[in-house]
Structure 1
């Protein structure tokens, strides 16, 4: 009987070990399931975290874009306001230009009329050239394809040409009626102080008398000085003193 107890005890131990082994396997299996579930949950959590991080980054990017657009819109607003102010200024300038243009046209007409009267009363040098210049100005004023600014420039240019006549010396050839006969003569213009002619044969000379509005004969003693003046005007001689009669223009 003593030999039977150890066998029973060994069987109990073996059975207990089997039970513990089965329980341990269940625990391990359960733990494995828990770990798998935890891994799946962690995967879901990671995906959700990644998604949240992506959305957060997208949100930050959108906020930056919104801030950039706000700055850009503010700049565009400033530019737009500046352009509106400039347009308003241009509109005012255009209105002023229209007023000035309406005023400047009569002014130019008066200037041309004044220039024509001045030429008619002046020493009669380059008569055809000066008359053609004034006629050209009158024709120009009737043309619509020329801007008012260009018209005004040409009128001022004509005035400048007349001003320059008063401080230059000039020699030119033209026709002049002498003793009832038209002859070719050399004219010597000294500013507006004197207009002298000399026939091409060098035998007759005369100067313009503003009071009588006619040419008067000059003595033969002046012919050498007139020739000298003609050569100086043509740059054939260096500038030098001339002894000539002077009839000042009125």
Structure 2
């Protein structure tokens, strides 16, 4: 054990208390050597160590508090960012919900359209057959020009309708093309060679067609000229001296051998109702 010695200390008040008040009044104050006081230094060391430990603990606590404060501040900032992101996500989610709602409505509309298309698809074959039947009847009642070609197109369309490898769209397209072709005949002029039978006799002729207004033929030797009477369903002979040259000119114009010009042609006028 370490013992520390302390020097002389003037302790007048302490000595006065020990000798009594009477002696203090009579005797003069004297310097008395102080007794030596022995102190255990380990106690002081432990006290100092405890104090130092306390201060160290306080510093560590302060550091921990500072760290926790910084962490709390960082956590709060992260919370703010997360909250801002949440608000943005809520707005975005609302937009998505609206888009989904619109898409669901569109899907419902498409479903209805698909159902309608399926119904129409089932009806198209019957419709096409009706259209072909009507067109076939029309051709047979029309002016008798290019009959082989026109009947052949009818048969081609029917074969397409009966073919399972041909799509509905292609089948319908074939029918529409036929109608467009027949419609175009009413706006065109053409000439072509043909062999027809009149009064039981076959004749090699040149036919000229002017829309659906006039259908006329002239034999290759130019000796006979006739016009088709659709009401009578027969070829009517024309006066050779009156129309022979006019028909020759019409044939040349239709064949684009001559420039277009005005030509007088026989047209079967409808009968006046009585």
TM-score by length of 1: 0.76
Query: Is the alpha carbon distance of 1:92 and 1:102 closer, same or farther for their aligned partners in structure 2, counting shifts above 3 Å?
Result: same
More displaced stretch, 189-198 vs 53-62: 53-62
Match of 1:102 among 122, 143, 155: 122
Q: Higher RCO, 1 or 2 (CA under 8 Å, sep at least 6)?
A: 1
Q: Cα distance, 1:119 vs. partner?
A: 0.7
RMSD: 3.2
More helix by share: 1
Query: Is the alpha carbon distance of 1:29 and 1:176 closer, same or farther for their aligned partners in structure 2, counting shifts above 3 Å?
Result: same
- Structure 1 contact 210–248 (Cα < 8 Å) conserved: no
SS in 1 for 2:218: strand
Whose radius of gyration is greater, 1 or 2?
2
Match of 2:140 among 120, 140, 145: 120
Cα deviation, 1:97-124, whole Å, max 9, x if unaligned, reads 2333334433332221111111101110
Q: How do 1:26-175 and structure 2 match up within 5 A?
A: 36-175=56-195
Query: Is the alpha carbon distance of 1:117 and 1:178 closer, same or farther for their aligned partners in structure 2, counting shifts above 3 Å?
Result: closer
Unaligned runs of 5+ in 2: 1-6, 11-33, 35-43
- Tell me, in whole angstroms, the C-alpha distance in 2 between the residues paired with 1:167 and 1:229: 16
Count of matched residue pairs: 232
Q: Cα distance, 1:94 vs. partner?
A: 1.7
- Tell me, in whole angstroms, the C-alpha distance in 1 between the residues paired with 2:164 and 2:269: 41
Match of 1:202 among 218, 222, 228: 222
- Structure 1 contact 171–188 (Cα < 8 Å) conserved: yes
Unaligned runs of 5+ in 1: 1-9, 16-24
More displaced stretch, 31-40 vs 142-151: 31-40
SS in 1 for 2:145: coil
Q: Cα distance, 1:212 vs. partner?
A: 4.0
Q: Cα distance, 1:179 vs. partner?
A: 6.7
